Amino acid sequence: MRDTFLPFAPPLIGEEEIEEVIDTLRSGWLTTGPKTRRFADEFAEFTDAAAALTVSSCTAALHLALVANDVGEGDEVITTPLTFAASVNVIEHSGARPVLVDVEPDTLNIDPAKIEMAITPNTKAIIAVHYAGHPAELDEIREIAERHDLILIEDAAHAIGSAYKGQPIGSGLNPACFSFYATKNLTTGEGGMLTGESEFLEKARMLSLHGMSREAWSRYAAGGKWAYDIAAPGYKYNMTDIQAALGLQQLRRFESMQQRRRDIVSQYQEAFSGNAAFQTPVSREHVTHAWHLYVLRLNEGELSVNRNQFIEEVNARNIGTSVHFIPIHIHSYYAEKYGWEPDDFPVALDSFNRMVSLPLSPKMSDQDVTDVIDAVYNVVRAGMSRKAAA
Protein backbone atom coordinates (compact mmCIF):
# COMPACT_ATOMS: atom_id res chain seq x y z
CA MET A 1 0.00 0.00 0.00
CA ARG A 2 1.15 3.57 -0.69
CA ASP A 3 2.79 5.54 2.12
CA THR A 4 1.32 8.85 0.92
CA PHE A 5 -2.14 9.81 -0.25
CA LEU A 6 -2.67 10.21 -4.01
CA PRO A 7 -5.12 13.09 -4.61
CA PHE A 8 -7.91 12.50 -7.10
CA ALA A 9 -6.87 15.15 -9.64
CA PRO A 10 -3.80 17.23 -8.70
CA PRO A 11 -3.06 20.10 -11.14
CA LEU A 12 0.20 20.13 -13.06
CA ILE A 13 1.81 23.55 -12.58
CA GLY A 14 5.33 24.20 -13.81
CA GLU A 15 7.90 26.97 -13.69
CA GLU A 16 6.47 28.44 -16.89
CA GLU A 17 3.14 29.17 -15.22
CA ILE A 18 4.86 30.55 -12.13
CA GLU A 19 7.04 32.90 -14.19
CA GLU A 20 4.05 34.09 -16.20
CA VAL A 21 2.15 34.91 -13.01
CA ILE A 22 5.18 36.74 -11.61
CA ASP A 23 5.39 38.73 -14.84
CA THR A 24 1.74 39.70 -14.37
CA LEU A 25 2.31 40.78 -10.77
CA ARG A 26 5.23 42.93 -11.86
CA SER A 27 3.28 44.45 -14.74
CA GLY A 28 0.96 46.37 -12.44
CA TRP A 29 -2.10 45.07 -14.30
CA LEU A 30 -3.78 42.36 -12.21
CA THR A 31 -7.41 42.32 -13.24
CA THR A 32 -9.01 42.00 -16.69
CA GLY A 33 -6.45 43.33 -19.13
CA PRO A 34 -4.04 42.42 -21.92
CA LYS A 35 -3.41 38.82 -20.84
CA THR A 36 -7.10 37.95 -20.68
CA ARG A 37 -7.43 39.24 -24.26
CA ARG A 38 -4.38 37.22 -25.35
CA PHE A 39 -5.70 34.12 -23.65
CA ALA A 40 -9.12 34.50 -25.31
CA ASP A 41 -7.52 35.00 -28.73
CA GLU A 42 -5.20 32.01 -28.36
CA PHE A 43 -8.01 29.83 -27.03
CA ALA A 44 -10.23 30.77 -29.96
CA GLU A 45 -7.44 29.81 -32.34
CA PHE A 46 -6.85 26.53 -30.48
CA THR A 47 -10.53 25.54 -30.69
CA ASP A 48 -11.20 27.01 -34.15
CA ALA A 49 -13.84 29.21 -32.52
CA ALA A 50 -15.17 32.35 -34.19
CA ALA A 51 -14.40 34.27 -30.98
CA ALA A 52 -13.89 33.68 -27.26
CA LEU A 53 -14.56 35.53 -24.01
CA THR A 54 -12.71 34.88 -20.74
CA VAL A 55 -14.97 34.69 -17.69
CA SER A 56 -14.74 33.83 -14.00
CA SER A 57 -16.09 30.27 -14.32
CA CYS A 58 -17.90 27.86 -16.60
CA THR A 59 -20.97 28.58 -14.49
CA ALA A 60 -20.68 32.24 -15.47
CA ALA A 61 -20.30 31.25 -19.13
CA LEU A 62 -23.43 29.08 -18.99
CA HIS A 63 -25.43 31.83 -17.30
CA LEU A 64 -24.27 34.42 -19.82
CA ALA A 65 -25.12 32.06 -22.70
CA LEU A 66 -28.69 31.86 -21.43
CA VAL A 67 -29.16 35.52 -20.51
CA ALA A 68 -27.52 36.86 -23.68
CA ASN A 69 -29.97 34.70 -25.64
CA ASP A 70 -32.90 36.17 -23.68
CA VAL A 71 -33.81 32.91 -21.95
CA GLY A 72 -35.99 33.77 -18.96
CA GLU A 73 -39.37 33.51 -17.26
CA GLY A 74 -41.76 31.09 -18.92
CA ASP A 75 -39.05 29.34 -20.92
CA GLU A 76 -37.92 25.72 -20.58
CA VAL A 77 -34.38 24.44 -21.05
CA ILE A 78 -33.67 20.76 -21.72
CA THR A 79 -30.55 19.19 -20.24
CA THR A 80 -29.24 16.03 -18.58
CA PRO A 81 -29.67 14.82 -14.99
CA LEU A 82 -26.09 13.45 -14.96
CA THR A 83 -24.13 16.67 -14.57
CA PHE A 84 -22.83 19.00 -11.90
CA ALA A 85 -25.50 21.21 -10.34
CA ALA A 86 -24.13 24.35 -12.05
CA SER A 87 -25.54 23.20 -15.41
CA VAL A 88 -29.05 23.37 -13.98
CA ASN A 89 -28.59 26.09 -11.35
CA VAL A 90 -27.99 28.62 -14.15
CA ILE A 91 -31.35 27.70 -15.68
CA GLU A 92 -32.97 28.52 -12.35
CA HIS A 93 -31.00 31.78 -12.10
CA SER A 94 -32.24 32.83 -15.52
CA GLY A 95 -35.82 32.31 -14.40
CA ALA A 96 -36.45 29.40 -16.77
CA ARG A 97 -37.52 25.85 -15.93
CA PRO A 98 -35.12 22.91 -16.29
CA VAL A 99 -36.43 19.85 -18.14
CA LEU A 100 -34.34 16.71 -17.74
CA VAL A 101 -33.75 13.97 -20.31
CA ASP A 102 -32.07 10.66 -19.46
CA VAL A 103 -28.63 9.68 -20.73
CA GLU A 104 -27.17 7.10 -23.11
CA PRO A 105 -26.07 3.91 -21.32
CA ASP A 106 -22.56 3.90 -22.80
CA THR A 107 -21.35 7.53 -23.04
CA LEU A 108 -23.60 8.87 -20.24
CA ASN A 109 -24.32 11.89 -22.45
CA ILE A 110 -27.83 13.24 -23.03
CA ASP A 111 -29.83 10.83 -25.19
CA PRO A 112 -30.85 12.58 -28.44
CA ALA A 113 -33.65 10.06 -28.97
CA LYS A 114 -35.35 11.31 -25.81
CA ILE A 115 -34.92 15.05 -26.39
CA GLU A 116 -37.72 15.30 -28.94
CA MET A 117 -40.26 13.87 -26.48
CA ALA A 118 -39.39 16.56 -23.93
CA ILE A 119 -39.96 19.54 -26.24
CA THR A 120 -43.00 21.72 -25.55
CA PRO A 121 -44.15 25.11 -26.91
CA ASN A 122 -42.20 26.67 -24.01
CA THR A 123 -38.86 25.03 -24.85
CA LYS A 124 -36.26 27.69 -25.64
CA ALA A 125 -32.88 25.96 -25.40
CA ILE A 126 -30.94 22.71 -25.01
CA ILE A 127 -27.82 22.45 -22.85
CA ALA A 128 -25.78 19.48 -24.08
CA VAL A 129 -23.15 18.36 -21.55
CA HIS A 130 -20.05 16.63 -22.91
CA TYR A 131 -19.80 14.22 -20.00
CA ALA A 132 -16.28 13.29 -18.81
CA GLY A 133 -14.84 14.76 -22.03
CA HIS A 134 -16.74 12.54 -24.48
CA PRO A 135 -18.65 14.76 -26.95
CA ALA A 136 -22.41 14.40 -27.10
CA GLU A 137 -24.00 13.46 -30.44
CA LEU A 138 -24.00 17.00 -31.80
CA ASP A 139 -25.30 16.25 -35.30
CA GLU A 140 -28.52 14.76 -33.96
CA ILE A 141 -28.91 17.41 -31.27
CA ARG A 142 -28.27 20.27 -33.70
CA GLU A 143 -30.81 18.86 -36.14
CA ILE A 144 -33.43 18.75 -33.39
CA ALA A 145 -32.54 22.27 -32.23
CA GLU A 146 -32.71 23.71 -35.76
CA ARG A 147 -35.99 21.97 -36.57
CA HIS A 148 -37.64 23.36 -33.44
CA ASP A 149 -35.88 26.76 -33.54
CA LEU A 150 -34.09 26.13 -30.25
CA ILE A 151 -30.82 27.56 -28.91
CA LEU A 152 -28.07 24.96 -28.49
CA ILE A 153 -25.59 25.59 -25.67
CA GLU A 154 -22.69 23.21 -25.09
CA ASP A 155 -21.53 22.62 -21.53
CA ALA A 156 -17.92 21.84 -22.40
CA ALA A 157 -16.61 22.01 -18.82
CA HIS A 158 -14.94 18.62 -19.37
CA ALA A 159 -14.30 18.92 -23.06
CA ILE A 160 -11.32 21.12 -23.91
CA GLY A 161 -9.23 19.11 -26.34
CA SER A 162 -12.13 16.96 -27.51
CA ALA A 163 -13.56 16.87 -31.02
CA TYR A 164 -16.70 15.65 -32.75
CA LYS A 165 -16.24 14.22 -36.25
CA GLY A 166 -12.94 16.05 -36.55
CA GLN A 167 -14.27 19.43 -35.40
CA PRO A 168 -12.96 20.76 -32.06
CA ILE A 169 -15.58 21.29 -29.39
CA GLY A 170 -16.09 25.05 -29.32
CA SER A 171 -15.71 25.51 -33.08
CA GLY A 172 -19.46 25.77 -33.71
CA LEU A 173 -21.26 29.10 -33.93
CA ASN A 174 -23.49 28.20 -30.98
CA PRO A 175 -22.27 29.05 -27.45
CA ALA A 176 -19.84 26.60 -25.83
CA CYS A 177 -18.81 26.95 -22.19
CA PHE A 178 -15.47 25.75 -20.80
CA SER A 179 -14.14 25.34 -17.26
CA PHE A 180 -10.61 25.99 -16.00
CA TYR A 181 -11.24 24.86 -12.43
CA ALA A 182 -8.28 23.36 -10.55
CA THR A 183 -9.12 19.76 -11.52
CA LYS A 184 -9.73 20.44 -15.22
CA ASN A 185 -7.48 19.48 -18.15
CA LEU A 186 -6.35 23.11 -18.35
CA THR A 187 -6.49 25.18 -15.18
CA THR A 188 -6.43 28.83 -14.18
CA GLY A 189 -7.39 27.95 -10.60
CA GLU A 190 -10.87 29.30 -11.17
CA GLY A 191 -12.06 30.56 -14.52
CA GLY A 192 -13.85 29.76 -17.74
CA MET A 193 -14.32 30.60 -21.40
CA LEU A 194 -17.33 31.26 -23.59
CA THR A 195 -17.02 30.73 -27.36
CA GLY A 196 -19.44 31.60 -30.14
CA GLU A 197 -20.28 34.25 -32.72
CA SER A 198 -18.57 37.63 -32.31
CA GLU A 199 -21.81 39.64 -32.09
CA PHE A 200 -23.21 37.33 -29.41
CA LEU A 201 -19.96 37.51 -27.44
CA GLU A 202 -19.97 41.30 -27.47
CA LYS A 203 -23.34 41.22 -25.73
CA ALA A 204 -22.03 38.58 -23.31
CA ARG A 205 -18.90 40.69 -22.67
CA MET A 206 -21.04 43.67 -21.71
CA LEU A 207 -23.18 41.54 -19.39
CA SER A 208 -20.08 39.99 -17.81
CA LEU A 209 -18.91 43.42 -16.56
CA HIS A 210 -21.92 44.94 -14.80
CA GLY A 211 -23.54 45.83 -18.12
CA MET A 212 -20.86 48.46 -18.76
CA SER A 213 -20.35 49.66 -22.30
CA ARG A 214 -16.55 49.73 -21.87
CA GLU A 215 -14.28 47.46 -19.78
CA ALA A 216 -11.46 48.57 -17.46
CA TRP A 217 -8.70 47.88 -20.00
CA SER A 218 -10.23 50.37 -22.45
CA ARG A 219 -10.77 52.96 -19.68
CA TYR A 220 -7.58 52.79 -17.63
CA ALA A 221 -4.90 51.88 -20.19
CA ALA A 222 -2.90 54.60 -21.90
CA GLY A 223 -5.20 56.74 -23.99
CA GLY A 224 -8.33 55.27 -22.36
CA LYS A 225 -11.49 57.30 -21.79
CA TRP A 226 -13.21 57.36 -18.41
CA ALA A 227 -16.82 57.58 -19.56
CA TYR A 228 -19.06 54.51 -19.82
CA ASP A 229 -22.73 53.61 -19.92
CA ILE A 230 -24.69 50.87 -18.14
CA ALA A 231 -26.60 49.25 -20.98
CA ALA A 232 -28.08 46.40 -18.89
CA PRO A 233 -28.01 45.20 -15.25
CA GLY A 234 -25.04 42.86 -15.75
CA TYR A 235 -22.89 40.65 -13.57
CA LYS A 236 -19.34 40.43 -12.17
CA TYR A 237 -18.11 37.56 -14.32
CA ASN A 238 -14.71 38.75 -15.61
CA MET A 239 -11.45 36.79 -15.49
CA THR A 240 -8.28 38.39 -14.12
CA ASP A 241 -4.89 38.68 -15.81
CA ILE A 242 -3.40 36.61 -12.97
CA GLN A 243 -5.68 33.72 -13.95
CA ALA A 244 -5.09 34.27 -17.67
CA ALA A 245 -1.33 34.08 -17.06
CA LEU A 246 -1.77 30.50 -15.87
CA GLY A 247 -4.01 29.73 -18.82
CA LEU A 248 -1.58 31.06 -21.41
CA GLN A 249 1.16 28.69 -20.29
CA GLN A 250 -1.19 25.76 -19.73
CA LEU A 251 -2.42 26.18 -23.29
CA ARG A 252 1.13 26.11 -24.64
CA ARG A 253 1.78 22.63 -23.26
CA PHE A 254 -1.77 21.36 -23.38
CA GLU A 255 -1.11 18.63 -25.94
CA SER A 256 1.68 17.08 -23.84
CA MET A 257 -0.63 17.05 -20.83
CA GLN A 258 -3.37 15.44 -22.92
CA GLN A 259 -0.99 12.78 -24.17
CA ARG A 260 -0.17 11.89 -20.57
CA ARG A 261 -3.89 11.58 -19.82
CA ARG A 262 -4.29 9.25 -22.79
CA ASP A 263 -1.34 7.15 -21.60
CA ILE A 264 -2.91 6.75 -18.16
CA VAL A 265 -6.31 5.88 -19.63
CA SER A 266 -4.66 3.25 -21.82
CA GLN A 267 -3.15 1.63 -18.73
CA TYR A 268 -6.51 1.71 -16.95
CA GLN A 269 -8.36 0.25 -19.92
CA GLU A 270 -5.84 -2.58 -20.26
CA ALA A 271 -6.13 -3.35 -16.56
CA PHE A 272 -9.92 -3.25 -16.21
CA SER A 273 -11.40 -4.16 -19.60
CA GLY A 274 -12.67 -7.70 -19.84
CA ASN A 275 -13.13 -8.06 -16.09
CA ALA A 276 -16.74 -8.90 -15.25
CA ALA A 277 -16.58 -6.74 -12.13
CA PHE A 278 -16.16 -3.53 -14.13
CA GLN A 279 -17.86 -1.53 -16.86
CA THR A 280 -15.16 0.63 -18.42
CA PRO A 281 -15.77 3.98 -20.20
CA VAL A 282 -16.16 4.12 -23.97
CA SER A 283 -14.85 6.37 -26.73
CA ARG A 284 -16.84 6.27 -29.95
CA GLU A 285 -14.86 6.12 -33.19
CA HIS A 286 -16.03 9.50 -34.53
CA VAL A 287 -14.95 11.51 -31.46
CA THR A 288 -11.75 12.62 -29.80
CA HIS A 289 -12.25 12.05 -26.08
CA ALA A 290 -10.73 14.69 -23.78
CA TRP A 291 -10.50 12.17 -20.92
CA HIS A 292 -11.23 14.68 -18.21
CA LEU A 293 -12.57 11.81 -16.09
CA TYR A 294 -12.06 8.07 -15.98
CA VAL A 295 -15.38 6.76 -14.66
CA LEU A 296 -15.42 3.09 -13.76
CA ARG A 297 -18.82 1.49 -13.17
CA LEU A 298 -18.96 -1.49 -10.82
CA ASN A 299 -21.02 -4.57 -11.60
CA GLU A 300 -22.01 -5.17 -8.02
CA GLY A 301 -23.30 -8.68 -8.69
CA GLU A 302 -19.68 -9.64 -9.29
CA LEU A 303 -18.46 -8.02 -6.07
CA SER A 304 -19.05 -8.48 -2.36
CA VAL A 305 -18.98 -4.73 -1.73
CA ASN A 306 -21.21 -1.93 -2.96
CA ARG A 307 -19.98 1.27 -4.56
CA ASN A 308 -19.74 3.22 -1.30
CA GLN A 309 -17.81 0.43 0.44
CA PHE A 310 -15.54 0.13 -2.59
CA ILE A 311 -14.68 3.84 -2.41
CA GLU A 312 -13.99 3.65 1.34
CA GLU A 313 -11.67 0.71 0.91
CA VAL A 314 -9.79 2.26 -2.02
CA ASN A 315 -9.42 5.51 -0.06
CA ALA A 316 -8.13 3.51 2.90
CA ARG A 317 -5.34 2.38 0.61
CA ASN A 318 -4.31 6.05 0.10
CA ILE A 319 -5.99 6.48 -3.28
CA GLY A 320 -8.30 9.46 -3.79
CA THR A 321 -11.51 8.99 -5.74
CA SER A 322 -14.69 10.88 -6.54
CA VAL A 323 -18.19 10.37 -7.97
CA HIS A 324 -19.39 12.26 -11.06
CA PHE A 325 -22.19 13.05 -10.43
CA ILE A 326 -25.04 12.85 -7.97
CA PRO A 327 -27.93 13.18 -10.45
CA ILE A 328 -29.75 16.50 -10.40
CA HIS A 329 -33.17 14.97 -9.81
CA ILE A 330 -32.24 13.41 -6.45
CA HIS A 331 -30.88 16.62 -4.94
CA SER A 332 -33.43 17.88 -2.41
CA TYR A 333 -34.07 21.30 -3.98
CA TYR A 334 -34.87 19.94 -7.42
CA ALA A 335 -36.71 16.84 -6.21
CA GLU A 336 -38.97 18.94 -3.99
CA LYS A 337 -39.55 21.79 -6.47
CA TYR A 338 -40.30 19.64 -9.53
CA GLY A 339 -41.54 16.45 -7.89
CA TRP A 340 -38.91 14.29 -9.53
CA GLU A 341 -38.54 10.73 -8.25
CA PRO A 342 -35.25 8.79 -8.31
CA ASP A 343 -36.56 6.31 -10.92
CA ASP A 344 -37.66 9.05 -13.33
CA PHE A 345 -34.27 8.83 -15.08
CA PRO A 346 -33.27 5.18 -14.63
CA VAL A 347 -30.07 5.14 -16.72
CA ALA A 348 -28.62 8.10 -14.85
CA LEU A 349 -29.65 6.65 -11.48
CA ASP A 350 -28.28 3.16 -12.15
CA SER A 351 -24.98 4.56 -13.42
CA PHE A 352 -24.64 6.89 -10.43
CA ASN A 353 -25.16 4.02 -7.99
CA ARG A 354 -22.29 2.07 -9.59
CA MET A 355 -19.77 4.74 -10.58
CA VAL A 356 -16.43 5.79 -9.16
CA SER A 357 -13.98 8.21 -10.76
CA LEU A 358 -10.37 7.06 -10.49
CA PRO A 359 -7.42 9.48 -10.26
CA LEU A 360 -6.52 11.04 -13.61
CA SER A 361 -3.97 13.81 -13.96
CA PRO A 362 -0.88 14.43 -16.11
CA LYS A 363 0.98 14.91 -12.84
CA MET A 364 0.65 11.19 -12.07
CA SER A 365 3.68 8.94 -12.46
CA ASP A 366 3.57 5.40 -13.79
CA GLN A 367 3.99 4.23 -10.20
CA ASP A 368 0.92 6.27 -9.21
CA VAL A 369 -1.07 4.54 -11.95
CA THR A 370 0.17 1.13 -10.83
CA ASP A 371 -0.79 1.98 -7.25
CA VAL A 372 -4.35 2.83 -8.35
CA ILE A 373 -4.72 -0.40 -10.29
CA ASP A 374 -3.25 -2.44 -7.45
CA ALA A 375 -5.56 -0.78 -4.90
CA VAL A 376 -8.65 -1.51 -7.02
CA TYR A 377 -7.71 -5.16 -7.44
CA ASN A 378 -6.69 -5.45 -3.81
CA VAL A 379 -10.18 -4.37 -2.79
CA VAL A 380 -11.74 -6.78 -5.29
CA ARG A 381 -9.62 -9.72 -4.09
CA ALA A 382 -10.28 -8.92 -0.43
CA GLY A 383 -13.98 -8.82 -1.14
CA MET A 384 -13.86 -12.12 -3.02
CA SER A 385 -12.03 -13.73 -0.10
CA ARG A 386 -14.67 -12.54 2.36
CA LYS A 387 -17.43 -13.71 0.02
CA ALA A 388 -15.87 -17.17 -0.27
CA ALA A 389 -15.38 -17.40 3.50
CA ALA A 390 -19.02 -16.57 4.09
Residues belonging to the active site:
184
Scanning the chain, the segments in alpha helix (DSSP H) are 15-27, 34-47, 58-67, 86-94, 112-118, 138-147, 198-208, 216-220, 241-252, 254-272, 307-316, 332-338, 346-354, 366-389
- Cα 179 to the chain's mean position, in Å? 6
Other beta carbons less than 10 A from residue 326's beta carbon: 13
The answer to whether 278 and 296 have CB atoms below 8 angstroms apart is yes
| Per-residue 3-state assignment (H helix, E strand, C coil) for 32-44 | CCHHHHHHHHHHH
**Helix (H) or strand (E) run with residue 193 in it:** strand 192-196
Do the Cβ atoms of 43 and 35 come closer than 8 Å?
Answer: no
Radius of gyration of the chain (CA): 22
CA distance 196 to 172: 7
